[in-house]
């Protein structure tokens, strides 16, 4: 698994950095004393950056088989008010109150480039945000909005750092899928070569997609 190899590389670099810091700060001699104020501090900064990068990278998942990233179940509470159950591919399940006519799921993607892309390596993904949308432009501007952050980077944001840079791992923005809100509808969200795709999982979802929305 390429993600595990990348994580193992970062862990190895982190261990090397820590060992070098210990050696530099505990050995004696004028040359080593001079290195304490330069190379030692640089290695400490590098170790901190590597640790934070590794922690953020572990919040992403790599799709190794054809399975949904998430399943969205919709239950109506009132006019333009819904209870959403979001079940992830890892088995976790959370409920959210959504206002509007449509639900939208935003996903952060990190896409492999170069030889990794040629090898057919799947992107890394992280569920980013769940929100509601209105069909009416006036409501979209003035009505109450519901937006939930599903996962956030704590110390260092690898995706944000990669965004706008051309590397062998590229941060991809604008990855989102939206579907109409209808009582009893169940959808699955998939990652395809063309982007995110929502598929109906029951008759209610299929029927609502047959109508203009």
Of the residues 18, 39, 58, the one at which a domain ends: 58
- The reply to whether 113 and 8 lie within a common domain is no
Residues 202 and 130 both lie in one domain:
yes
Locate 192 and state its tokens.
């395809």
Are 14 and 114 within one domain?
A: no
**How many domains are there within the chain?**
2
> Residues 34, 77: one domain?
no
How do the pLDDT tens digits run along the chain, 213 residues long? 544 555 555 566 556 666 665 665 555 554 556 555 665 566 666 666 656 555 555 555 555 556 688 999 999 999 999 999 999 877 889 999 999 999 999 988 777 665 544 445 667 788 889 999 999 999 999 988 999 998 776 766 676 666 666 666 667 766 899 999 999 999 999 887 667 889 999 999 999 998 887
Does one domain contain both 84 and 128?
Answer: yes
Q: Give exposure, 85-117, as e/b (b: 16+ Cβ within 10 Å).
A: ebbbbeeeeeebebbbbbbbbbbbbbbbeeeee
Tell which residue, 71, 113, 116, 105, has the closest CA to residue 196: 105
Q: What domain range includes position 35? A: 2-58
Q: Give residue 164's pLDDT.
A: 65
Q: Are residues 201 and 151 in the same domain?
A: yes
Same domain, 201 and 99: yes
Among the candidates 35, 58, 81, a domain finishes at 58
Shortest CA distance to 88 belongs to which of 204, 199, 193, 189? 189
Model-level pTM greater than 0.75? no
For residues 71 and 38, state if they share a domain: no
Same domain? 121 vs 198: yes
Q: Report d(CA 36, CA 34) in Å as an integer.
A: 5
Q: Check residue 115 and give its pLDDT.
A: 52
């Amino acid at each position: 698994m390429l993600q595990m190899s990348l994580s193992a590389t970062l862990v190895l670099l982190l261990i090397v950095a820590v060992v070098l810091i210990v050696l530099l700060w505990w050995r004696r001699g004028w040359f080593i004393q001079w290195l304490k104020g330069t190379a030692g501090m640089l290695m400490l900064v590098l170790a901190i950056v590597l640790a934070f990068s590794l922690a953020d990278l572990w919040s992403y998942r790599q799709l190794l088989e054809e399975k949904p990233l998430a399943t969205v179940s919709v239950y109506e509470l009132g006019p333009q008010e819904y209870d959403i159950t979001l079940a992830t591919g890892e088995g976790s399940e959370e409920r959210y109150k959504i206002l509007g006519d449509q639900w939208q799921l935003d996903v952060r993607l990190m896409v492999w480039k170069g030889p990794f892309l040629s090898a057919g390596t799947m992107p890394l993904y992280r569920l980013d945000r769940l929100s509601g949308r209105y069909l009416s432009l006036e409501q979209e501007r003035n009505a109450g909005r519901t937006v939930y952050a599903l996962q956030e980077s704590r110390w260092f944001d690898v995706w944000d750092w990669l965004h706008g840079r051309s590397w062998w791992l590229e941060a991809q923005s604008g990855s989102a899928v939206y579907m109409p809100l209808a009582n009893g509808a169940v959808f699955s969200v998939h990652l395809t070569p063309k982007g995110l795709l929502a598929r109906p999982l029951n008759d209610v979802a299929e029927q609502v997609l047959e109508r203009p929305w």
